[in-house]
Structure 1
Amino acid sequence: MPHVTLSEIEEAARRIAGRVRRTPVDLSPSLSALAGVPVFLKHEHRQITGAFKLRGATNALLQLSPDERAKGVVATSTGNHGRALAHAAAAEGVRCIVCMSSLVPANKLEAIKALGAEIRIIGRSQDEAQIEVERLIAEDGMTGLPPFDHPHIVAGQGTIGLEIVEDVPDAATVLVPLSGGGLIAGIAVAAKTLRPDIRILGLSMRSGAAMAASLDAGHPVEVEELPTLADSLGGGIGLANAWTFETVRALVDDIVLLDEAEIAAGIRHVYEMEREIVEGAAAVGVAALLAGKVAPTGPTVALLSGRNIAMELHRRIINGADGLEETD
């Protein structure tokens, strides 16, 4: 099974030090009281670009050769990876093109443009956008740095696992948002190598959960990409997935799926009780605790993965909307 190693994750931590934030972990009194065990929040939404993706993008970009840098980088994204790659590329003077579907929220498009990257909107899914990425790689010689299925991306995201184990050494369970698997694969390798008894749970939305469907099928499958409050968790895992699928299958203990109302409740709780603004994808761990879909038996860490939600949508959720259909 190809997967990154703890040493590669530790090397990534040294490589990206000073270029990304080491985000804090804080005890949540409200969630601890609810769960009956200490519950901590890992504040990765406070990362420089507003999401964890900067770790993997920076780690990958810093390992490009001079020739690869000269020809530029390209990727698909549901928003946060594109923003992270644009930030990392701008810092190194590298051209960056981000290909996205029409489902990506406008606020995420504008944030990527503001960092100087070129944007191409292709179709209504990441799989369709990936066709343009492949063309740019083949015809223009650009280097593809995908959102998750790449060893340097996985190793960069795995640095979060190192920090969690260091900050909460007795953690029994870690709740991780799950999409293509780069985040949870890296965290699982780091955490389980250091603490083999730790439980890693993946959280995703019920609408179009590609990794969950692929694990059920026993191999990567395509799913219909649907509108969801957890838009950062949308998209497929790639039928030719080479890194994250097998690692997730081997190391992730369980997957929990949430409906839109539960995700909305998670966003509201984080705002009202923790005084933090997060996007739907970041709220899934909290949502699972609130819904009683996770029953922790020891110290638990919920990862708040990003904050890049459209503020109008956030206001409507806070005011009681339970899904995208109520914001139109």
Structure 2
Amino acid sequence: MRTTVDNDAPTAERYRAFAEVEARGMSETYDAWALGVADDPATIALIDELPPAKRQPNLVFSAARFRGSEPAPYDDFRRWLAAHWPEVRETAETHATQTNEAGRCALHVPALAEIPGPLALLEVGASAGLCLYPDRYSYRYPGHGRLDPADGTSRVILDCETRGTEPVPVPASLPEVAWRAGIDLNPLDVTDPDDLAWLDALIWPEHDDRRERLRAAATIVAADPPRLEAGDLNERLAALAAEAPAEATLVVLHTAVIAYLDEAARARFVETVRELPGHWLSVEGRSIVPGIRVRDDVPNDSTDFVLALDGVQRAWAQPHGRAVTWVPNP
């Protein structure tokens, strides 16, 4: 079962858990780097110069790669990091993990198809807003014809393996989106080279397909930028939701965001979103969102996220959108 380590845990423990739970089987480079850090007091001493919330492996490794570190054996990485620590530290202190994976739209689309349209999409933790464009990408689900936008095949084609219930809930068409907006503490702009470079650095070293997809999706978003508001999701959610057009169905969505809130903030968010008109689509780590019954009776991987619609789990989801396992109705 997937476990989490809080910000107050010793750095060695945090990095070992990251290697064994997050990176294992997903990134050979990050697996090796995290295990190396866990057994390296000198590198831990550097990382411990950062505030606890900034010591997270994904942030430190992304900051290093943003500053020029390349995939390499751990001994090479530790020497590079020691030589470039001031600039890596500055990047970690001024940036945040804001992965914006367009592939996650392949998880969202089947759930969105159940909701009467047109839709008003409001994403919390939107980063650069790439997941606000499910209607602009093409999709391939095994055993089904390709789903394309109304104007033809997209330059972004998302492949997603589907498992679980029969028939698999793959829609016949893409949702109609009438309005889209997002909230983020630090919205990113895909037309800004530094912001785009940071999004690139957040993609794990071996995931070249995701890196290519980022660039293609960024081009689509840059041609029709979304409305992105800077602020705390709990402070801005209700007011922004109220601006959605009355003729559209509001859908509040988020993926891998709520884990960054403390327990009180999570509870406040759930209370707020449940009171809003419309629907709520969440894709988060197991046991992260209060009140959702997790379906461990359905086979799943330790790293899978819980995909839920209106607080009820509908599927287990691979975090980057590569696969989804649908669960039977409760």
Q: Given the two structures, how large is their TM-score scaled by the length of structure 1? A: 0.39
Q: Which has more helix, going by share of residues?
A: 1
Normalised to the residue count of structure 2, the TM-score between the two structures is: 0.39
